[in-house]
Amino acid sequence: MPEIRRLPDTLVNRIAAGEVVERPSSALKELVENAIDAGASRIAIKLVDGGLTSLEVTDDGCGMSPDQMALALERHATSKLPDDAIEQVETLGFRGEALPSIASVSRFTLESRPKNVADGWKRVIDHGEMIAEGPAALPPGTRVRVENLFGKIPARRKFLRTPRSEYAASIDVVKRLAMARPDVAFTLDHGDRRILGLQSGEGLTNRVAQVIARELRENGVAIDLDRGTMRLTGIAGLPTFNRGIADHQYLFVNGRPVKDRLLTGAVRGAYSDMLARDRHAVLALFLDLPPEEVDVNVHPAKTEVRFRDSQAVRGFIVSGLRNALASVDKRSAQSPDAAAMSRWQAEPVRDEPAPALRSIFEGRDWSAPQSRVSEPAQGWRGAEADVMAAPQGRAEMATESTEEKKDFPLGIARGQVANTYIVAEAADGLVLVDQHAAHERLVLERLKAAGAEDAVARSQALLIPEVVELEETSCDRLEDAADALAKHGLAIERFGPSAILVRSLPHAIARTNPEKLLRDIDDDLALNGEALHLGEKLDLVLATMACHGSVRAGRTLRVDEMNALLREMERTPRSGQCNHGRPTWVKLSMDDVEKLFGRH
């Protein structure tokens, strides 16, 4: 029988480092979190080669005495759990594993000086062995330097990526932590370049806009909602301000950056009928709730959490986001395409005068000063006739329109371009409306208001109920969700340990394959904890009905029809974007119009 023995501390630390320190960005995350927990108001970060050569974090927090520094480098030693109530943890770190784990796989230099103490202290550890300690000169606070990560563990070192990839991961970590703490100033240097400089006291909305995209401030809606003991804050981008990947969704729980499937699914559900499936919202959401309602001790990296009442959390986020977006539902992302604007601003250039003008300029001496404009000669009038047509008829006074005096947000229709775009004049600019996209949204909202969702979800019983064989765990998930699925028109019941009996399907998708539908729903339940897939299928049916029932591009509209469309858009929720997340209207301010003609 093999002998059971205790592992040496150095090996234990390296095993723990495999869970905590995956790459330089993992070490950087732990060090910045420690700085925040130490009460720092300024954090300075320096990277060399994306952190592969070295990374350094300096803060002005509370600092540590020499004895505390020695204790901090031991496993499971922490100042962040004053008692044994781990469920009440309110700090970012609490496990006491980060510093000894990092020190066991790198050359680790820890310098610290408490406030009101004259001298600091330094300890240097090389892959788990202390090689030096002594006095250090530094201002109050702590400075940690990590060099040659995994230098003596080639099996781990070879799995690190290129400096560019490690730098991208590191800056993502810093951005996420900086967003959660707008009261802390952050600087990030990569080599000799200053990458990030964030001042403290900027406010949550400004900090998020600075970190994600400055356009988010104009194309987003601030969120501040409460429900019981839960609070949701942050900024959510308009559906028209979207991206092709979900990497621009930043989610936080009690100030901790997390990557949680339940929260991601809630965001997708909130934007479900406002975005195409291949587009993703841009947002930063901060969920705060009592510490005992969430378990953060799920994984050593602390990026996963578990909620005591996950359905309540999901419902709060979905309804909160929808209500916030509904408050600005007629807005759309109003940043004109730069390439399109540059073509507007390009001055037309001709190599030579047009044929009709050539006779005017022939033989004319342009070097002679032109003192005054003289009455054109008879020959000039003949050439002018080739260029300008004589006025026909006479101008008459137009009858005054009563609508002109009303202040409509989308203005008054002035015409139609290419039988597709409505041109309207508003008090503050020029509005262009995509008539098909706008009417598509209006029809969808009418269908919902008329109860079409219930009609689409109406059940159609199968002549012969179909038995679908699945794994037992899948059958368990589907059986638990049977009541929710029945509301959408899908009637199922358990048929033995590993089979589900399908009695009816939603009327709108009655021709679908029951087995494929159940497997898709099961995957959705396993991933998100809720059957989003079926609801999205029915939403897609409604969207398709709205698309086919709306005004087509290329149809000529009368002025009264255009104005009626504009007025209904002003009254309809979420009319700023079509069912696929594209804007239904854009506005060019009068200042921009004047700039096009050099007037401003």
| Predicted local confidence at residue 251, as pLDDT | 93
CA distance 586 to 335: 8
| Predicted local confidence at residue 166, as pLDDT | 92
| Predicted local confidence at residue 16, as pLDDT | 63
Task: Identify the DSSP state of 127.
Answer: T
| Predicted local confidence at residue 468, as pLDDT | 92
Instruction: List the CATH number of the domain containing 533.
Output: 3.30.1540.20
* Domain boundary residue, one of 301, 326, 351: 326
Residues 158 and 213 in one domain: no
| Predicted local confidence at residue 42, as pLDDT | 96
Residues 425 and 485 in one domain: yes
- Cα pseudo-dihedral 528, 529, 533, 538, rounded to 10: -130
| Predicted local confidence at residue 546, as pLDDT | 62
Supply the DSSP string of 15-56, one letter for each residue: HHHHHH-SSHHHHHHHHHHHHHHTT-SEEEEEEEGGGTSEEE
CA distance 586 to 482: 44
Residue 333 is assigned to a structural domain of this protein: no
Residues 215 and 176 in one domain: no
Residues 174 and 261 in one domain: no
Residues 64 and 140 in one domain: yes
Residues 536 and 564 in one domain: yes
Q: pLDDT tens-digit profile of 116-166?
A: 898 899 999 998 889 999 999 999 999 999 999 988 888 788 888 889 889
Other beta carbons within 10 angstroms of residue 49's beta carbon come to 16
Q: Which domain holds residue 101?
A: 9-84+92-198
Residue 73 is assigned to a structural domain of this protein: yes
| Predicted local confidence at residue 304, as pLDDT | 80
CA distance 489 to 210: 46
Residues 191 and 271 in one domain: no
Closest-CA residue to 209 (of 234, 192, 228): 234
Q: Are 180 and 257 in contact (CB under 8 A)?
A: yes
Residues 34 and 106 in one domain: yes
Residue 353 is assigned to a structural domain of this protein: no
Q: pLDDT tens-digit profile of 15-45?
A: 666 667 888 999 999 999 999 999 999 999 9
Residues 284 and 433 in one domain: no
| Predicted local confidence at residue 298, as pLDDT | 72
* Domain boundary residue, one of 198, 221, 239: 198
* Domain boundary residue, one of 326, 360, 388: 326
Residues 449 and 518 in one domain: yes
Residue 394 is assigned to a structural domain of this protein: no
Q: Residues 6 or more apart from 369 whose CB is under 8 A from it?
A: none
The token pair at 200 is 């403290």
Q: Are 219 and 238 in contact (CB under 8 A)?
A: yes
Residue 485 is assigned to a structural domain of this protein: yes
| Predicted local confidence at residue 109, as pLDDT | 96
The helix (H) or strand (E) run that includes residue 233 is strand 230-237
Residues 428 and 539 in one domain: yes
The tally of CA atoms less than 13 A away on the side-chain side of residue 580 is 10
Structural domains in the chain (count): 3
Residue 340 is assigned to a structural domain of this protein: no
Residue 293 is assigned to a structural domain of this protein: yes
Q: pLDDT tens-digit profile of 468-523?
A: 998 888 898 888 888 878 877 788 999 988 999 999 887 766 777 888 888 878 87
- Averaged in consecutive runs of 10 residues, what is the pLDDT profile of the chain (600 residues)? 78 68 90 92 95 95 92 78 64 76 92 92 92 93 94 84 90 92 94 92 87 85 91 90 84 89 85 78 92 79 81 88 75 53 47 48 49 43 40 45 62 87 87 85 73 63 90 88 81 91 80 82 72 61 61 77 87 77 82 76
Residue 32 is assigned to a structural domain of this protein: yes
Instruction: List the CATH number of the domain containing 263.
Output: 3.30.230.10
Residues 141 and 80 in one domain: yes
Residues in the chain: 600
